């Protein structure tokens, strides 16, 4: 198990397992309309528009920007979906995470850590 990122954990304290999807376009989201369950999406938009249609179905959300007060964090909290904002990624190529399995752990109220399971 390899630690790949950490950031401010802004919602649910639950541990979660899921498959990573790095969202780079609107089409990436549309492709998940019927397949969002169990996905941990990485998105660099701290608002709700990009992930909006699928947010409630996701296993988790990671965002390198924003904070606990960002729209994405607020709405994730409403859906009780684990969300980590201001993520400090420890790998360069985020698309290399696509389809790989990961685990999100809450270390404290303000810190969440993501591990790559493969």
Partner 1 sequence: MLGDISDEEANELIALISKSVVENILKRGMVESKIFSVSHYLAVACYVLYDQSYQYNILKEVASKISPEDIARRSKSLGPGLNQLAFYSTCMLYLHGRAQVIHDNLSKKKAGETNIVVEPETKKKETKFILDFWKRLSPNYLNDETYILKNKKITCLSDDYIEKLKDNMIPINNNKEITKRLKQTIAHLTIYSFLSRAECRMSISEHGPYYFEDNTEPLIFKEFLELHTGDVMFEIDMTGNMPYKITKIAPFSNVIFGMTLKDMNKIEFNDWSTLFADPTDFSSNITSIGIWTRELSHPKDLRYPDNIGKLKPLSLNILEELSKFAKSATKELYIDISKWNFTKKLLFGSHVYVNSLLSVCAQYAGIEDNFNWTWPFDYASGKPLKTDLIDKEKIKFYIDKLGKKIKTSQDEKEAEKLQITALEKYEGVHPFMTRIFRSRRAQKLDPFYYKLQDE
Binding site for partner 1 (CB under 8 A): 11, 25-27, 29-30, 33, 43-50, 52-53, 55-56, 65, 68-69, 71, 74-75, 77-80
Rank residues 77 and 101 by Cβ distance to partner 1 and give the closer one: 77
In whole angstroms, how close is the CB of 96 to partner 1 at the nearest point?
A: 21
Is the CB of 50 or the CB of 116 nearer to partner 1? 50
Q: Return the number of the residue (40 or 51) whose C-beta is nearest partner 1.
A: 51
| Residues 59 and 18 sit within 8 Å (Cβ to Cβ) | yes
Write down the least CB distance from residue 53 to partner 1, Å.
5
Nearer to partner 1, 39 or 116 (CB): 39
Residue 31 Cβ, how far from partner 1 at the closest point, in Å? 11
Give CA–CA dist 23/48, Å, rounded. Answer: 13
**Rounded CA separation 55/40 (Å):** 10
Residue 62 CB, nearest approach to partner 1 (Å): 15
* β-bridge partners, 23: none
H-run or E-run covering 26: helix 26-30
Dist. CA 72–CA 50, nearest whole Å: 10
- Say which residue the tokens 């609107």 belong to: 26
């Amino acid at each position: 198990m390899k630690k790949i990122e950490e950031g401010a954990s802004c919602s649910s304290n639950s541990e979660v397992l899921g498959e990573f999807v790095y969202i780079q376009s609107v089409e990436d989201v549309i492709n998940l309309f019927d397949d969002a369950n169990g996905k941990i999406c990485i998105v660099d938009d701290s608002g709700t528009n990009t992930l909006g249609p699928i947010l409630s179905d996701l296993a988790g959300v990671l965002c390198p920007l924003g904070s606990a007060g960002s729209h994405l964090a607020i709405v994730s909290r409403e859906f009780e979906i684990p969300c980590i904002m201001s993520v400090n990624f420890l790998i360069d190529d985020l698309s290399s995470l696509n389809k790989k399995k990961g685990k999100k752990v809450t270390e404290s109220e303000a810190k969440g850590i993501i591990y790559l399971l493969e």
